[in-house]
Amino acid sequence: MRIILAALTAIILFAQATAAQQQPVQDLLQTHRALIEKSSRRTIAPAINALSNSGLPQAQTVLQSWQAKEMWQRKSDGLFFHTVKDARGQTLLLDFDSGAEAGTFDPKTMKRLKPNSGVRAMIATSLVRFQLSDPDPVQRRAALTSVQRNPDAAHLAPLQASLAGETDPDILTLKLHLTRLLTVTFDRDEAKRIEAIGQLSGATSLDVRAALNPLVATRRIVGPKSETAGMNLARSLRPGSEDLSVEDAYTMMVTAELAPQRVTDAGKYTALLTNIDAGRAGGVPLTQLSSQDARDQAYDALVAAGLAAESVGEAEIAAAVAGYSFVDVYQDPSPAVTAAATKALDAIGLKVGLYRFVDLTLDAMSLGSILFLAAIGLAITFGVMGVINMAHAEFIMMGAYTGYIVQQYITNYTVSIIVALPLAFAVTFAAGVAMERLVIRWLYNRPLETLLATFGISIALQQIAKNIFGTQARPLTSPAWLDGAWVLNDVVSISYIRIAIFVLAMIFLAVYLFIMKRTRFGLETRAVTQNPKMAASMGINPARVNMLTFGLGSGIAGIAGVAIGLFAKVTSELGNDYIVQSFMTVVVGGVGNIWGTLAGATMIGFFQKGVEWLNPGNTLAAQTFMIVFIIIFIQFKPRGIVALKGRAAGD
């Protein structure tokens, strides 16, 4: 008989559980009808939690409709529905359980539920549970993004529950990462938190550091020594030391209401003024209050009469401070957690320091490639030919404006850049040839006159550019595939434009070496540079070689202008930002040697970025230190890093 009763009881309980699982969502809404109708942030949590934990497939639709203010209640019977628009734009009233039409929608007979922002935020948090397991990976990613932006303790359990069913490897990796972050911040199990911290110790992302830093954050408190003994102490402080003065310690006690307020001379003066009676203050005539002793006597009388606060002397302050403990306490109460977080942050700090060095190296190489590209043309005109061309900056500017003009006619930025590079070379090559034929050819071996003449041409070219294009900066837009940056992690990144400039600089290094080492023109240029009379006697035309060499250097400057214009402002003064550094690059590297120019650009790039790293945000100081460094460097290496040898060095 007992066996039969037990079996019947089990059957009844199973039937009740099955019925509970099959309970329509409408019944659940009616159970919490009063809370839903009030829709208050302080009271709505049971209704939202009941829907989230119900296991009903319709619960997500209810929460989404409620959040979007598309849930309605029929006034006649209090039932809840949601609405949608059909193809004809008519509003349909739908049943939550069946999804079928529930009659004609009449706004007069329905009440729209309008949850406030606080309730909608709670609904959004609850919806994450459903979205994390949504069949659509886009929805799952959106839910993870929402968790990243607004992490909450309520997200931890749904995240953990969704791990087992995740099929996308990338989403699973992100879920595991977020689970560890939330475990560190919100989980109450100390062992799980320490395990999660250990798993995050190799990561350098900002969100990991943001999760770990609060664990080692401290607050300074004062209290009886017996109370602070059991806290998670970072360190104890001794009043009177460098870390905590006696005055600051007493101020902490006053703030914590552990000691009376210290009365200053100004406070005593105010108390005396407040308690003047019949020409006296504290029983002392006002005419006698000119001395400090008289004022102290009067104030003591006010204290004795209960009219002023008792003054605290240095001895009392020292005694009060000695009776309390001053400590820095970790925000997190668990010593094991803070120890694990400290160890993890130390490991992360070491890795971040290494990555910052890599990032600094990439920045220095990027700057060096820009300087090399700007100086490679100058290395030809100044380093090879010995011509001090102060208008080299304007050839860079002309190249940038050529790129801008091309983009006015060719709107495809990739095609426009491909067209602009050779066209800029042609324009500045022609300008260089004209300048050499008209001016430079008459001034060889006269450096001062060459400098003055090219400086005048520089001013004239700038003014012509201002007359044509105005003083406002013009845009030179890079192709879409050069947008953004190559990001290795949260520390190391470099823009694609700078990578392209680095590649372009290496290409022109190879082109220059090929021309100079593998072509007849290069052979003739080297011959004319070393001994023009001997070269002429061998049938070489020095005037023609000088003209083409000067044109080559000018043409490369034009190409540099297009590249620089992609990230710098295209104005008539564009080249001025690079002309001084270009000359320094050539001189420091070694006049007449392309490898020296490359070495000089690299050294200047690393030095300037190093100074900027030591003095962030002060580019002017970095350039000043760089000039001083170069002056000192030239004193020890007057021929540069890579000096010419043999007969050419003597010339």
At 34 the pLDDT is 84
pLDDT digits (tens, 9 = 90+) for 296-328: 777 777 777 777 777 777 788 888 888 888 888
CB 83, CB 105: distance < 8 Å: yes
Q: Is the pLDDT of residue 172 over 60?
A: yes
pLDDT digits (tens, 9 = 90+) for 124-168: 877 777 788 888 888 888 888 888 888 888 788 888 888 888 888
The residue among 334 and 126 whose pLDDT is bigger is: 334
Overall average pLDDT of the 410-437 stretch:
91
CA dihedral 91, 95, 101, 106 (to 10 degrees): -40
Q: How confident is the model at residue 513 (pLDDT cuts 50, 70, 90)?
A: confident
What number of CA atoms fall less than 13 Å from residue 484's CA on the CB side? 5
At 55 the pLDDT is 76
CB 603, CB 650: distance < 8 Å: no
Overall average pLDDT of the 53-72 stretch:
82
Q: What is the phi/psi pair of residue 80, to 5°?
A: -105, 140
Tell how far CA 613 is from the center of its chain: 16
Overall average pLDDT of the 441-446 stretch:
83
At 383 the pLDDT is 65
At 16 the pLDDT is 37
CB 589, CB 600: distance < 8 Å: yes
The residue among 581 and 420 whose pLDDT is bigger is: 420
CB 164, CB 175: distance < 8 Å: no
Give the C-alpha separation, 135 to 167, whole Å: 10
Give the C-alpha separation, 156 to 158, whole Å: 6
71-85, 395-409, 621-635: which range is least confident on average? Answer: 621-635
Give the C-alpha separation, 197 to 418, whole Å: 51
DSSP conformation class of 69: T
Helix axes 335-378, 576-589, angle to 10 degrees: 90
Q: Is the pLDDT of residue 40 over 60?
A: yes
Give the sign of the dihedral formed by CA 462, CA 465, CA 471, CA 475: negative
Q: Which of 54-68, 154-168, 456-470 has the highest mean pLDDT?
A: 456-470
The residue among 16 and 451 whose pLDDT is bigger is: 451
At 643 the pLDDT is 59
Place of tokens 């400290």: 342
Q: How confident is the model at residue 389 (pLDDT cuts 50, 70, 90)?
A: confident
Residues sharing a CB contact under 8 Å with residue 578, sequence separation 6 or more, in sequence order: 370, 371, 374, 393, 396, 564
At 617 the pLDDT is 62
Tokens of 502: 């680095």
CB 196, CB 180: distance < 8 Å: yes
CB 96, CB 73: distance < 8 Å: no
Measured between its terminal Cα atoms, the distance across the chain in Å is 122
Q: How confident is the model at residue 17 (pLDDT cuts 50, 70, 90)?
A: very low
At 15 the pLDDT is 38
Mean pLDDT for all residues in the chain: 82
pLDDT digits (tens, 9 = 90+) for 533-573: 888 888 888 888 888 888 888 898 899 889 888 888 888 88
Give the C-alpha separation, 542 to 444, whole Å: 12
Q: Is the pLDDT of residue 423 over 90?
A: yes
CB 159, CB 182: distance < 8 Å: yes
Overall average pLDDT of the 101-107 stretch:
77
pLDDT digits (tens, 9 = 90+) for 203-243: 888 888 888 999 999 988 888 877 777 788 888 888 888 88
Overall average pLDDT of the 591-619 stretch:
79
Q: What is the phi/psi pair of residue 416, to 5°?
A: -65, -40
Element (H, E) at 341: helix 335-378
Helices (H) and strands (E) in the chain, counts: 28, 12
Question: What are 72's strand-pairing partners?
Answer: 81, 112
Q: Is the pLDDT of residue 428 over 90?
A: yes
